Amino acid sequence: MLIPFNEPTFRESVDIMFNRAVSLMDLSPGLEEKIRVCNATYTVRFGVRLRGAIHTFTGYRSVHSEHMEPVKGGIRYSLSVNQDEVEALAALMTYKCALVEAPFGGSKGGLCIDPRQYEEHELEQITRRFAYELAKRDLIHPSQNVPAPDMGTGEREMAWIADQYARMNPTDINARACVTGKPLNAGGIHGRVEATGRGVQYALREFFRHPEDLARAGIVGSLEGKSVVVQGLGNVGYHAAKFLSEEDGCRVIGIIEHDGALYSDTGLDVEAVRQWMNKHGGIAGFPDATHHSDGAAVLEAECDILIPAAMEGVINLGNAERIKARSIIEAANGPITAGADEVLRHKGVLIIPDMYANAGGVTVSYFEWVKNLSHIRFGRMQRRAEEARTQMLVDELERLSADKGLGWTLSPGFKQAYLRGSDELELVRSGLDDTMRTAYQSMREVWHTRADVPDLRTAAYIVAIGRVAASYRAKGL
């Protein structure tokens, strides 16, 4: 029997994947348990007066592991938020940070709310009150616990949180480092909004640098022309699909949203679909594509790369057998249940796991946190010095050419590109690219050198758990 269990919950899925990895490691049972369990979850219920009545909201902040501090993890606004989900997401954050060497423990937060039901000023009131409840318990703090955006939240909410913390801590010079994903004018960093989608692109580029890995998915060649289906055209899915189609020549043949799916064999214009969504609140009615009211069915379309970028559990025992994608990159957290993971592995579908695939967000959050603590934008000190040095080299080459009568001329395009010093966005992208390449290589080394490691997910867990264990051991645990 292929699947020896019924569909597990998200948290059980994370535990199953954790257990599979630790069964291949040499950890003491005590340390194994210490790493697995969630350290603490704080539940808060608070009231906000809105529209003439008091409304009570329930929120969570869960701290999975404090082997490194601050702990880090997004705050999600969704009606499906619950303790189990927040704890599973916090555990994933621990492993994700370890895998990409971001020096944080794992945490996650959530507020049980449908943000679409509230006006902006109401959301601000709710967010500030939630932030107050967390900050007064150090569950938002630059050196203890640093949230970030997640589903249903973005720059706007992070700016309110940062301001709320600063009001409560007016003498804390590092107050801005209490949260990441802020807008630029409130201490944010260039490239944070696009970071998770950009990370998905860099992850795929690295995957495509390894023909042996592609062969496991039955894929050959480069990203150019590869067919892509994306679920969720929000922050992560939109940026991933946009970059892959506009910069790597991928063909985005399917886009699945909350109100159905668009399909076009020749490829969709991602930017145009997004503009349509912004205007109409959904994708229905978009011209130049076939609309399917049963969006989830398009998850089963044949494609080279499937990008679930909406929510957890969308590929499960109910549809796993019918998935025809050759590879799946988990841009969302936990989109494949443990049961489906097993089915897909037996079918030969290659899965690039969430812990790695969507780590671009926390990586650039790490850069933002460092920027806030150092109180200076990346590149501010070096940029013009770099330009002066490259200018010296170009001048010298041109002088030599003139002196010796060699007739060399550097093309204007080359000169312009070479003489430009790196700005913050270029430095952020460079740091992100390096992180995604290095983390992929650490996973694939375990995957390829150990016969008992069946896939990249198990390899990712082994690398991450090994690093967390080393950190606990160094503390004398």
Q: Which of 333, 372, 435, 458 binds ligand NAD (CB under 6 A)?
A: 333
Tell me the closest approach of the beta carbon of residue 258 to ligand NAD, in angstroms.
4
Site for ligand NAD in 32-51 (CB under 6 A): none
Backbone dihedral angles phi then psi of residue 58, each to the nearest 5 degrees: -115, 130
Q: What is the 3-state secondary structure (H, E, C) of 52-116?
A: CEEEEEEEEEEEEECCCCCEEEEEEEECCCCHHHHHHHHHHHHHHHHHCCCCCEEEEEEEECCHH
Tell me the closest approach of the beta carbon of residue 360 to ligand NAD, in angstroms.
7
CB closer to ligand NAD, 44 vs 273 = 273
Buried b (16+ CB within 10 A) or exposed e, 103-131: ebbbbbbbbbbebeebeeeebbbbbbbbb
Tell me the closest approach of the beta carbon of residue 311 to ligand NAD, in angstroms.
5
| Cβ-contact 77, 234 below 8 angstroms | no
Tell me the closest approach of the beta carbon of residue 119 to ligand NAD, in angstroms.
18
Backbone dihedral angles phi then psi of residue 83, each to the nearest 5 degrees: -60, -45
CB closer to ligand NAD, 70 vs 361 = 361
Tell me the closest approach of the beta carbon of residue 461 to ligand NAD, in angstroms.
17
Tell me the closest approach of the beta carbon of residue 237 to ligand NAD, in angstroms.
6
Q: Which of 201, 316, 337, 358 binds ligand NAD (CB under 6 A)?
A: 358
Q: How far apart are CA 132 and CA 134, in angstroms?
A: 5
Q: Is 311 in the site for ligand NAD (CB under 6 A)?
A: yes
Q: Give the DSSP H/E element, type plus range, for residue 23.
A: none
Q: Which of 106, 110, 142, 149 binds ligand NAD (CB under 6 A)?
A: 149
Q: Which of 106, 188, 295, 353 binds ligand NAD (CB under 6 A)?
A: 295
Q: Per-residue string for binding with ligand NAD, 437-456, x by CB under 6 A?
A: --------------------
Q: Is 91 in the site for ligand NAD (CB under 6 A)?
A: no
Tell me the closest approach of the beta carbon of residue 72 to ligand NAD, in angstroms.
11
Kindly state the DSSP code that residue 11 receives in the 8-state scheme.
H
Q: Is 310 in the site for ligand NAD (CB under 6 A)?
A: yes
Q: Which long-range contacts (CB under 8 A, 24 or more apart) does 319-327 make?
A: 320/344, 320/347, 321/347, 323/299, 323/347, 323/349, 324/300, 325/229, 325/301, 325/349, 326/217, 326/218, 326/219, 326/350, 327/207, 327/217, 327/219, 327/351, 327/352
N- to C-terminal Cα separation, the chain = 40
Q: Which of 105, 109, 110, 234 binds ligand NAD (CB under 6 A)?
A: 234
Residue in 72, 96, 108, 371 annotated catalytic? 108
Q: Which of 65, 227, 235, 316 binds ligand NAD (CB under 6 A)?
A: 235
Q: Per-residue string for binding with ligand NAD, 237-266, x by CB under 6 A?
A: x------------------xxx--------
Q: Give the DSSP H/E element, type plus range, for residue 117.
A: none
| Cβ-contact 430, 436 below 8 angstroms | no
Neighbour-count burial of 140, counting CB atoms closer than 10 A to its CB (0-12 exposed, 13-18 middle, 19+ buried): buried
Tell me the closest approach of the beta carbon of residue 62 to ligand NAD, in angstroms.
14
Instruction: Report how far apart, in Å, the C-alpha atoms of 219 and of each of 14, 223, 229, 294, 350 are.
Output: 28, 10, 16, 28, 10
Residue of closest CB approach to ligand NAD: 234
Among the candidate windows 56-64, 163-171, 225-233, 444-452, which touches ligand NAD by CB under 6 A?
A: 225-233
CB closer to ligand NAD, 70 vs 335 = 335
Beta-bridge mates of residue 309: none
Among the candidate windows 6-14, 60-68, 210-218, 328-336, which touches ligand NAD by CB under 6 A?
A: 328-336
Other residues' Cβ atoms within 10 Å of the Cβ of residue 421: 17
Q: Per-residue string for binding with ligand NAD, 96-135, x by CB under 6 A?
A: ----------------------------------------
Buried b (16+ CB within 10 A) or exposed e, 276-290: bbeeeeebeebeebe
Residue 81 token pair: 């938020």
Active site residue 108: yes
Q: Which of 87, 150, 368, 433 binds ligand NAD (CB under 6 A)?
A: 150
Q: Is 59 in the site for ligand NAD (CB under 6 A)?
A: no
Q: Which of 332, 432, 453, 468 binds ligand NAD (CB under 6 A)?
A: 332
Tell me the closest approach of the beta carbon of residue 333 to ligand NAD, in angstroms.
4
Q: How far apart are CA 86 and CA 365, in angstroms?
A: 19
For helices 412-419 and 383-404, what crossing angle results, to 10°?
150
Backbone dihedral angles phi then psi of residue 232, each to the nearest 5 degrees: 95, 110
Kindly state the DSSP code that residue 6 receives in the 8-state scheme.
P
Q: Is 157 in the site for ligand NAD (CB under 6 A)?
A: no
Among the candidate windows 6-14, 148-156, 379-387, 442-450, which touches ligand NAD by CB under 6 A?
A: 148-156
Q: Is 233 in the site for ligand NAD (CB under 6 A)?
A: yes
Other residues' Cβ atoms within 10 Å of the Cβ of residue 209: 13
Positions that interact with ligand NAD (CB under 6 A): 149-152, 196, 231-237, 256-258, 295, 309-311, 331-333, 358, 361
Give catalytic residues, as residue numbers. 108
